[in-house]
Structure 1
Amino acid sequence: MIDKKNKKFSLSDLVGLTILDKYILKRYLATFSAMLLLFVPIGIIIDVSEKINKMIENKIPLSEIAIYYYHFTIYFANSLFPIFLFLSIIWFTSKLANNTEIIAILSSGISFTRFLRPYLIGASIVSVFVLLMGFYVVPKSSEGFNYFRYTYLRGNGKEAMMGNVTDVYRQINPKEFLYVNSFNAETKMAFNFALERFEKQKMVSKITATRIKWNPKDSTYTLYDYAKRTVGELGDTLERASEKEAKFSFDLEDLTPVVYIAETLSLHKLNDFIDKQKERGASNINVYMVVLYKKYSVPVAAFILTIIAVAVSSMKRRGGMGMNLTIGIAIAFGYVFFDKIFGTIAEKSTFSPFLAVWFPNMFFGVLAIYLLRNAKR
């Protein structure tokens, strides 16, 4: 008799995993982890070799470099996640096929659909992990990665970089337009500032200043060489001051690079930012929408790529594992290519960002169904 009081249940027992499920799931997660541990150091070595001269030239502190490569690891792994996952599944499933383990499993009466179960459980674990990382962890690492890159590596050092955000033109709301010649994110100062206000497609006022500085203590701006021109029916009025404090409806984030902002916001902040930009009638809203939709589409890709990888590599081929890896690499890079191309199209045109982001998943989802049917046969 079984002593029910002393019997211990593990998570796998509650889920109902068999020995086969545990075996495949363990290989799934272990190979994916090993693939990350293998390629991330390679990516770091390549990045160091490309940037070492710039780092030495700008005398970057080792502490800053260490923090950068911490953020680089997360940013790099998230960017190439589909490739790492796909190749890891191709690798260990091909080994199962070459060792005739899959033939033995299917010959025992287990259907191919049932054989897929541990793979889909593994994809679920990876998807949840990637989803949470994309919501909360990746934005912070993206900010650290981009900050280091723009600060130390683009230009002749920190000071040079921070002044490189030039010719910024933004629509603040349906009536106001903002322009600055350059913006320094470190000193919170912009140069050659202009704020124009329109009513019924006619300019009613224009504020200019040679410099404008953000004051974080009281959330105001200090304008230097301030001038305000108000357009009237009988004549214009002009107000001048060498220095003037004022409050405006725009935020400093309106002056920073578009992609840099979108990539560094968590899910909640990104949604709030998109709502704010829609209220302002921003013309470049597609850039933010692409980043938002990708937070959801990338985790879904784990399921699609898992099914494709199993369907491709579960058959024993003449070329062996090498042939499966060749096919796998071609499909994985094809997915990344589609993802980048359609994302760029949506950012630079009026093409639907939702369709652009989800098209690779839809296309490869159809491919996954087709390959899965052939594999079952």
Structure 2
Amino acid sequence: MLKIIDKYILKRYLATFSVMLILFIPIGIVIDVSEKVNRMIERKVPLSEIVIYYIDFTVYFANLLFPIFLFLSVIWFTSKLANNTEIIAILSSGISFYRFLRPYFIGATVVSIFALLMGFYLVPSASKGFNDFRYKNLKGRSNSQTMETTDIFRQISENEIIYVNSYNYLSKTGFQFVHEKFEDNVLVEKTEANRIKFNEVTKSYTLYNYQKRKVGKLNDVLESSDKKILKYNFEPDDLTPVFYVAETMTIGELISFIDKERKKGNSNINTYLVVLYKKFSLPISAFILTIIAVAVSSMKRRGGMGINLAIGICIAFVFIFFDKVFGTLAEKSSISPLFAVWLPNIVFGILAFYLLRNAKR
């Protein structure tokens, strides 16, 4: 009997969650198309690029909102079980409330593993395609904050510093480039160029209107050229927007990138860490929100399913608020990124424990 009940609840758990995604993702796509169709037509965006963009759009937002979809779907089908007195019948047969939760935990485990693997490997690619398309075909240069940066300073080694006035991610081109080399805190070499462009094939940089000054004890040595090809020990990713770069990396690439930036003393390291920690905290939230959803909706209420959904939506918005606020605080302040990212799970984990105890009673 228990196996039959487990399969029944697990099937409803996964099926309702899948239907919720299938229903809401197309709605999001329709809204996005209605907002951007004029811009796409004006810029004559190829249909193939639009199709690929909305595939990336689906993966990107499904990963971003999956805890909320999961939360609402659990409330939905558990409320139906409660209204049909199925939960009362199950518990009256001698099954404990904690045993009743087993299929919910199995379902949460399946969803969490899938979300974890997506966040590690699939979502970075989708995030890159999603942001690239929006910049290239929708936003343009005037609002390209996610793709083009200004006044970029980077220390690429103990004795070398680079500066770029502005950098375009898609074209791999920087403007007003400066490279300075020091020995014992004294400037010994300075290179300038009006434009610098990365060549992905040769892994080299082409400098236009190139000028180089070697500082000597008595006289400086000057060198200039309209075009000069050089190799530097920094990657184009070192110049790209902080959050955007972190989103587009797989788990292994992100960990290596953080280690490299930490050695450089990058002041924006917290932003990278927030992205890394969220890859792990997001799947765990599936368990916490599942417990809260069951605790809220397992009791038959006078207002029916509507009351449960209203409570669930309020809790979902509070969870999103906590997640966004503390994530931003970790990026912009001295708060530990690990603490800030996991705090919403800690707070709602305590809430889940409290609601679960009351539901059991």
What is the TM-score when the length of structure 1 is the normalising length? 0.90
SS at structure 1 position matched to 2:6: helix
Aligned to 1:135: 120
Q: Which of 364, 369, 375 is residue 348 of structure 2 equivalent to? A: 364
Mapping of residues 107-122 of structure 1, within 5 Å: 107-122=92-107
**Contact 1:173-1:281 at 8 Å conserved across structures:** no
Q: Which amino acid aligns with 1:52?
A: V
Change (3 A) 1:339 1:199: farther
Report the Cα offset of residue 312 of structure 1. 0.6
1:96 aligns with 2:71: no
Offset, 1:252: 0.9
Helix, strand or coil for the counterpart of 2:196? strand
For the residue of structure 2 that corresponds to 1:211, the secondary structure is strand
Whether contact under 8 Å (1:162, 1:183) holds in the other structure is: no
Q: Deviations over 1:65-114 (max 9, x none)?
A: 11100100011111111110000000000011111111111111111100
Q: Give the alignment's Cα RMSD to 1 decimal.
A: 2.1
Query: 26, 37, 44: which is aligned to 1:59?
Result: 44
- Matched residues, number: 361
Cross-structure match for 2:281:
297
Separation (CA, whole Å) in 1 of partners of 2:257 and 2:14:
36
CA distance in 1, matches of 2:29, 2:353: 36
1:172 aligns with 2:156: yes
Q: 2:136 — aligned with what?
A: 151
User: Counterpart of 1:123?
Assistant: 108
1:324 counterpart residue number: 308
Give CA-to-partner distance per residue, 1:243-272, whole Å, 9 cap, x none: 222211111111222111111111111111
Separation of aligned partners in 2, 1:199 and 1:144: 42
Asked if 1:38 is matched to 2:11, the reply is no
1:239 to 223, 227, 230: 223
User: Aligned match of 2:64 in 57, 79, 98?
Assistant: 79
Q: Give, as a single letter, the amino acid of the residue that structure 1 aligns with 2:319.
A: Y
Amino acid in the other structure paired with 1:144: G
Partner of 2:251: 267
Aligned mate of 2:261, from 267, 277, 284: 277
List alignment gaps of at least 5 residues for structure 2.
none
Whole-Å Cα distance in 1 between the matches of residues 33 and 70 of structure 2? Answer: 25
Once residues 260 and 232 of structure 1 are traced to their aligned partners in structure 2, the CA distance between those partners, rounded to angstroms, is: 41
- Percent of paired sites with the same residue: 65
Q: Distance in 2 between matches of 1:199 and 1:95?
A: 72
Extract unaligned runs of 5+ from structure 1.
1-15
Q: Which of 257, 262, 271 pairs up with 1:287?
A: 271
Q: TM-score, normalised by structure 2?
A: 0.94
**Is the contact made by 2:147 and 2:240 (CA closer than 8 Å) also made in structure 1?**
no
Do the aligned partners of 2:154 and 2:238 also contact (CA within 8 Å) in 1?
Answer: yes
Question: Cα distance, 1:202 vs. partner?
Answer: 4.4
